[in-house]
Amino acid sequence: MRILFNEIRKLFSVKIICLLLLVSFIVYQQFIMFEFKYFPNGRPLLDDFRATQKMLVDYGKSMDNEEFEDFKEIKEQRIAEATEYLKSQKEMVAADIDTYEEFSNMDLENEKLAALHSKIFFEDSVDIFWEIQARDGIIDRYEHPERFIEHELTPKQDARMDELVENGSTKAIFTDMVFDNYNALIKFVAILIFLNIMIILMPLYIRDKRNHVQLLQYTSKTGRKLFSQKLVTGISAAMIVITTQLAFFFFMYKGNDTSMFYPLPINSIFNFFVSWYDLTFFQYIVLTVICVYLLGIALVLVGAWISSIAPNYMTSVGLHVPLAFLLFGSGTTYLVQNLTIIYSNPYLAPISFVIILVLSSLLFMWRYRSEKVKNI
């Protein structure tokens, strides 16, 4: 344990910690904070979000036909309230716009009317008008489940779609706004985590080789076993980085106030993402977290291999470039972001993970075996 602790301490030097903080700050500022700061992003998405939250409170996990009628009834009430509001506005009455129907059919080519329309929505930001729009969108999607019914996919995908219609997914309440937001966030967080792991693992073996400390390490009692112990160090360091980054991310994510969506199935008429499996949003989150850990471990194996063969930091950076290209692009897109999506083969992710982990393990094992008999 002392060796492990010492090696971890070496990896988390003050310089490296500062670098990790700087990189994390930049990535958060450039890519992640936007999804926190502007969630829901403008209107009527904010109103859509509020309406969905109210649906959940009023109807639970799904909305049957009777509840849908109630939802439409609320919309009618809002229309009545909007009409009342319009009647109370002198300029609207003067322009002969004193019902919501007239308001929604206004000729926006007419500059004067367009200005009045804009005033209601953007200057006065009257919530009722936004809410009606949002409710219209929800009603439209609920009434048009064609995406689930009329589709031209493979027989297996068709069967899954039919299964979803049968098990009531077309009535399930969820929102792609929450799902897309999480998916965008987890991709950037995964990229940040992998970047952190690359930074922290780069000196794993190079540092000792460059400082000629390896001669002392390999002639100590621990000897060449240190090579494999350093891998344990790398995995431990990666676990620390992943856990810390995810803990901070979920702490920030709490601010998006989406906890009420956690127990909901992600397969819903209100979510464009269709999964092969009946997952709740929480289960999907857990799945992405597991995948980040698995990819993190694979990255440690490859990163450790690079660190052990690269003679200097420049070579190591060079070898990390194609790895980063793969991981930050396709890696996060298919193995973190779009997990279980129906448009990909259901075995893509599990098979990819098995292949990645086996290959990276073999790569490291091969290096370890050669290190044991290498002339130093």
Partner 1 sequence: MLIVEDVTKNFGQFNALKNINLEFHNGVYGLLAPNGAGKTTLIKMLTTLLFPTSGSIRYDGEDIIKMDERYREMIGYLPQEFGYYKNYSPTSYLLYLAALKGIHRKTAIARVEELLKTVALDHVANKKMKKFSGGMIQRVGIAQAMLNDPKILILDEPTAGLDPKERVRFRNLLTNLARDRIVILSTHIVSDVESIANEIIMIKNQEVLYKDTVSNICGNIQGLVYETKVAYDETERFRSTYLTLSEKQENGSMYMRFLTEDTAKAEWKPVHPNLEDVFLYIYQDGVLSDDQTA
* 261: DSSP letter: G
Give the nearest distance from C-beta 9 to partner 1 in angstroms.
Answer: 9
Residue from 34, 68, 85, 218 binding partner 1 (CB under 8 A): 218
| Greatest pairwise CA separation for the chain in angstroms | 94
Select from 107-115, 217-225, 317-325, 355-363 the region that touches partner 1 (CB under 8 A). Answer: 217-225
**Prior bond to 40 cis, omega within 30?**
yes
Distance CA 137, CA 49 (A): 12
Query: Do 32 and 188 meet the contact criterion of CB atoms below 8 Å apart?
Result: yes
Site for partner 1 in 220-249 (CB under 8 A): 220-223, 225-226
Residue from 212, 251, 321, 322 binding partner 1 (CB under 8 A): 212
Distance CA 251, CA 249 (A): 5
Query: Do 307 and 206 meet the contact criterion of CB atoms below 8 Å apart?
Result: yes
Give the nearest distance from C-beta 199 to partner 1 in angstroms.
Answer: 18
Output 114 or 376, the one with its CB closest to partner 1.
Answer: 376
Task: Give the residues across from 62 on adjacent strands.
Answer: 172
- Residues in the interface with partner 1 (CB under 8 A) total 25
- Show the DSSP H helices in the chain as ranges: 2-11, 14-27, 33-37, 45-59, 65-88, 90-94, 100-104, 111-118, 127-143, 146-149, 155-166, 176-201, 203-210, 214-218, 225-253, 281-309, 313-326, 332, 348-372
Select from 65-73, 215-223, 252-260, 262-270 the region that touches partner 1 (CB under 8 A). Answer: 215-223
Output 8 or 252, the one with its CB closest to partner 1.
Answer: 8
Output 3 or 357, the one with its CB closest to partner 1.
Answer: 3
Per CB under 8 A, 375 contacts partner 1: yes
Output 154 or 219, the one with its CB closest to partner 1.
Answer: 219
Q: What Rg, from alpha-carbon coordinates, does the chain have? A: 27
* 341: DSSP letter: B
Output 119 or 225, the one with its CB closest to partner 1.
Answer: 225
Give the nearest distance from C-beta 297 to partner 1 in angstroms.
Answer: 25
Give the nearest distance from C-beta 246 to partner 1 in angstroms.
Answer: 30
- The pattern of x and - marking residues 317 through 356 that bind partner 1 according to CB under 8 A reads ----------------------------------------
Query: Do 210 and 22 meet the contact criterion of CB atoms below 8 Å apart?
Result: no
**How far apart, in Å, are the Cα atoms of 105 and each of 77, 81, 117, 232, 260?**
19, 17, 11, 67, 36
Query: Do 11 and 238 meet the contact criterion of CB atoms below 8 Å apart?
Result: no
Residue from 57, 314, 321, 373 binding partner 1 (CB under 8 A): 373
Give the nearest distance from C-beta 372 to partner 1 in angstroms.
Answer: 10
- The pattern of x and - marking residues 169 through 208 that bind partner 1 according to CB under 8 A reads --------------------------------------xx
**Prior bond to 44 cis, omega within 30?**
yes
Per CB under 8 A, 167 contacts partner 1: no
Output 20 or 291, the one with its CB closest to partner 1.
Answer: 20
Output 4 or 93, the one with its CB closest to partner 1.
Answer: 4
Site for partner 1 in 1-60 (CB under 8 A): 2-3, 6, 10, 13
Distance CA 313, CA 293 (A): 25
Output 133 or 214, the one with its CB closest to partner 1.
Answer: 214
Select from 129-137, 151-159, 209-217, 331-339 the region that touches partner 1 (CB under 8 A). Answer: 209-217
Per CB under 8 A, 215 contacts partner 1: yes
Distance CA 144, CA 287 (A): 30
Write the DSSP string, 272-297: S--BSS--BHHHHHHHHHHHHHHHHH
- CA neighbor of 340 nearest in space, from 188, 179, 175, 193: 179
Which chain residues interact with partner 1 by CB under 8 A? 2-3, 6, 10, 13, 207-208, 211-223, 225-226, 373, 375-376
